[in-house]
Structure 1
Amino acid sequence: MDLLYFAWVRERIGTGHEQVDPPAEVASVGELIAWLAQRSPGHAEAFAEPSRLRAAIDQRFVPLETPLGNPREIAIFPPVTGG
């Protein structure tokens, strides 16, 4: 699956995009984030506080408890603020 990272998530990981193949037991967005946190020190730092993250599956905002299904793309980003 394609992952997109934005803002400080991208900065901490060191890339804005990666392709991963998580194991079958990773069934929700929150479980994906926990699995990703083990990939590198940058991932661990970016995903240390999942409650500070938002996600979108195929460009639709979803809660972290959402089942993954078979997405083409998952975006992970901090909350959006206006200005």
Structure 2
Amino acid sequence: MIRVQFFARYRETLGCDQDRLEWHEGLRCMDDVRVSLAGRGGPWSVLDERNLMCARNDELCSLDEPVADGDVLAFFPTVTGG
């Protein structure tokens, strides 16, 4: 099982702060998880953004970071300031 957390605008758009996915061999990296979730359609398409930030087990990472059963993942939008 993989736990996925959502922050900021993603949490607001999805109406939830986390979800759980059954891990399988098709979920090799963070991007596979992102694509799988975005594929649900509707509000989940907010995760179609490729310019997002992510973390695996509380460590910032890139979308090509490998994932494994038991991981805690997080997706959050990039922050801009001015």
Short-chain TM bin: 0.7 to 0.9
Is the 8 Å Cα contact of residues 2 and 73 (structure 1) preserved in structure 2? yes
Counterpart position of 2:32: 31
1:45-79 CA-to-partner distances (Å, cap 9, x unmatched) read x11222x2111001000011111133431010012
1:12-39 CA-to-partner distances (Å, cap 9, x unmatched) read 1111111111432121101110011112
Closer, same or farther: CA 39–80 of 1 in aligned 2, 3 Å? same
CA distance in 2, matches of 1:38, 1:18: 14
Using the aligned pairs only, state the percent identity: 25
TM-score by length of 2: 0.84
Moved over 3 A (4+): 80-83
RMSD of aligned alpha carbons? 1.8
Unaligned 5+ segments in structure 2 are none
Unaligned 5+ segments in structure 1 are none
* Greater percentage in strand: 2
Total equivalences in the alignment = 81
TM-score by length of 1: 0.83
